[in-house]
Structure 1
Amino acid sequence: MKLYAGVDGGQTATQAVVGDERGTVLGRGGGGPANHVDEPGAQERLRSAVDDAVRAALRAAGLPSATLFKGAHVALTGEVEEQRVAVVGSVVRAERLTVGHDAPAAWMGAFGGAPGVAVIAGTGSVAFGCNAAGDEVRVGGWGYLFGDRGSAFWIAAEAIRRALDSADRGRDSALGEAACRHFGVERPAQIPAAFYRRALARDTLAGFAPVVTALALQGEVAAISLVEEAGRALAELALVALERLGLRRGEVAVVGGAAVDPLLRRAMARELTLQGVTLREPLAEPVIGALWLAGGRGGGERA
């Protein structure tokens, strides 16, 4: 039996699956965050996350940790630099190992290789698509300083930014009160201070996003406005990708932790529908897309 591995290394967590040549998933495993390349210990964190996830998937499949895969694909958020490829190669044993951006794996999982655009709305955000001619386009994915609009980090940071604006005007706000409770501080101003001195990691700050979306579902006006803006920003990523691919009335799928929020999805779907574009459910999750890119394809688990 030929064995394949797919790994989806995100800013919050890492997932791995082991499968056979038919695409049947034999085992799954998880690890810690595999990004934060600009922070101390980034390479060791990447090594540990991928190693832990793959070993756990092998254990779940009843296979030895020294298993040599026929093929393996590791999808990572952020730019794939030589040093990151070397780190992955030190822990994943495969006859054919490929390491790439996480967006193509998300698209492969969502569309199984068919034309369309996948939007990742996790800690960060990016869109990736392909048309029938094989042309590929990536839009966004420029990190928390220069992009990631509509992502969990963006929702959290924007909520805190708006809370700080209210505080500057001497006004309390529901967003500010929620942020103080969530981060265990007395004033919103303490949150950016903690972030700048790296006492607050990016994935930890992004963890405030579900609190904001919950406030929106409870009817908090400022939170509703913010979440709907996030949905429109994600739709814009998809529409730009579709236009560049010549898929004027194509299909879009959205994946990632932030994408589960119903208000965000409705806002995104509404914006896409205005342009004649359909928001559809993905065939499978990104880690399965990574498995398919590794060469493990077929009629096995697709969700």
Structure 2
Amino acid sequence: MPASDDRLGLGIETGGTGSRWCLSASSGVIIARGEMEPMTGHVFTQAERDRVSGIFTRLAGELAGIDRPAAIVAGVTGLGPESAVRAVFSAILATAFGCPEDKILIVDDMWLGYRARFQPGEGIVVYSGTGSIGYHLGADGEIIRAGGRGVLIDDGGSAAWIAAAALRRLLRREDEAPGSGWESALGHALAQALGGASWDAVRTHVYGGDRGSLGLLARAVAAAAEEGDALAAEIFTQAGEELARLALALRARVGAKPVALCGRAATLSPLIAQHFRALVAPPVALDETQVDVPACAANLACELARSDGNRL
């Protein structure tokens, strides 16, 4: 239990496959932490707003025996720079936790991921998960992005991009020489993930799912690369080049700052980091282990609790 005068900060990281939270004391001690259901900034319907509200109401009930957070910092995926969703999330959290809205800060998940690695103005983050983006947070708070325009037209080097590239190349092989694609190591790995070696299996998975289900196929591409499949290896080489492009684009705009390559998709194959480093001059760091973003958010919430406003 925290000391009676130790104000608590609640940090939240939402995501499309799961969400995490951390409750920290101003002394830096983590009081509690856990996981929640998936949620994003796409709370455009009343049903979705009610669902998100229910998630936070349940969490508030779980934390009632500890203490009420004095401030909350939440990183929400899919949040636009001028999104009205900030007000929606702020109101939901204020109601659930009885926290004043001027002590609630709603930010996009990349802002939070950046602050977990750099102080404002210090570096560049290149993130590769289901999607991809290059991100710099200036010392003055200005956000400069490269890429990150969605899997339909962009997100080069991401899990969804890797999966789509593999499917495209495999199916074109099938066009030219039926059987040659599916009989490769890449073909076998994808067929197992898809539940069949056919266009119907591909179509059902890709067009019947979402970008998350498409991105999960990147694991099959990684398995094929480990078996020595040349096409899979080539795709990961190109993924490293795509992610390097994001870093180089931002360095051209903000200077030769340190770069952190992060996200689970960036670790699918060592070829990604190898070719990224070949193109991006040092200093470059690869997040070998996942940074504790919810704990960072909780620490920032403690800082917010001590501040006069609701900006960090």
- Give per-residue Cα distances to partners, 1:69-127, cap 9 Å, x unaligned: 22212112223432464146324533311222111111110124460011221111112
Q: Does 1:238 align with 2:247?
A: yes
Q: Does 1:43 align with 2:35?
A: no
Of residues 18, 26, 30, the one that matches 1:25 is 30
Change in 2 beyond 3 A, CA 1:71/1:264: same
1:190 match: 201
TM-score w.r.t. the length of structure 2 is 0.78
Contact 2:8-2:23 within 8 A present in 1 as well: yes
Q: What displacement does 1:19 show?
A: 1.1
Of residues 214, 233, 236, the one that matches 1:227 is 236
Change in 2 beyond 3 A, CA 1:148/1:133: same
Contact 1:6-1:16 within 8 A present in 2 as well: yes
CA RMSD of aligned residues (A): 3.2
Change in 2 beyond 3 A, CA 1:285/1:259: farther
Contact 1:13-1:32 within 8 A present in 2 as well: yes
Q: Does 1:264 align with 2:264?
A: no
The size of the alignment, in residue pairs, is 286
**Aligned partners of 1:43, 1:270: CA distance in 2, in Å?**
44
Letter in 2 for 1:208: L
2:310 match: none
**Aligned partners of 1:214, 1:25: CA distance in 2, in Å?**
37
Between Structure 1 and Structure 2, whose CA radius of gyration is higher? Answer: 2
Change in 2 beyond 3 A, CA 1:234/1:168: same
**Aligned partners of 2:89, 2:138: CA distance in 1, in Å?**
32
Q: What displacement does 1:49 show?
A: 9.2
Which structure 2 residues correspond to residues 1-303 of structure 1 after superposition, within 5 A?
1-35=6-40, 37=42, 43=48, 47=52, 51=56, 55=59, 59=62, 63-64=63-64, 67-80=67-80, 81-83=83-85, 85-87=87-89, 89-91=91-93, 93=97, 94-95=99-100, 96-113=103-120, 115-131=122-138, 135-169=142-176, 170-173=178-181, 174=184, 175-196=186-207, 198=208, 200-245=209-254, 247-248=255-256, 250-261=257-268, 262-273=270-281, 276-279=282-285, 281=287, 284-296=291-303
- Give per-residue Cα distances to partners, 1:33-84, cap 9 Å, x unaligned: 32383999982597179639x829x85xxx3279532221211222343246
Contact 2:24-2:302 within 8 A present in 1 as well: no
Change in 2 beyond 3 A, CA 1:258/1:64: same
Change in 2 beyond 3 A, CA 1:20/1:131: same
Structure 2 stretches lacking a partner, 5+ long: 1-5, 305-312
Change in 2 beyond 3 A, CA 1:132/1:40: closer
Change in 2 beyond 3 A, CA 1:135/1:38: closer
Q: What displacement does 1:235 show?
A: 1.7
Letter in 2 for 1:30: E
**Aligned partners of 2:50, 2:162: CA distance in 1, in Å?**
25
- Give per-residue Cα distances to partners, 1:125-175, cap 9 Å, x unaligned: 112113556543122222222322111111112211222212222243233
Change in 2 beyond 3 A, CA 1:226/1:294: same
Contact 2:206-2:213 within 8 A present in 1 as well: no
**Aligned partners of 2:53, 2:173: CA distance in 1, in Å?**
41
- Give per-residue Cα distances to partners, 1:162-202, cap 9 Å, x unaligned: 22212222243233332221121241443234432x3x232
Contact 2:126-2:243 within 8 A present in 1 as well: yes
Structure 1 stretches lacking a partner, 5+ long: 298-303
**Aligned partners of 2:144, 2:35: CA distance in 1, in Å?**
29
Contact 1:116-1:252 within 8 A present in 2 as well: yes
Contact 2:237-2:271 within 8 A present in 1 as well: yes
Letter in 2 for 1:51: F
**Aligned partners of 2:108, 2:116: CA distance in 1, in Å?**
14
Q: What is the percentage of aligned positions where both structures have the same residue?
A: 26
Contact 1:160-1:188 within 8 A present in 2 as well: no
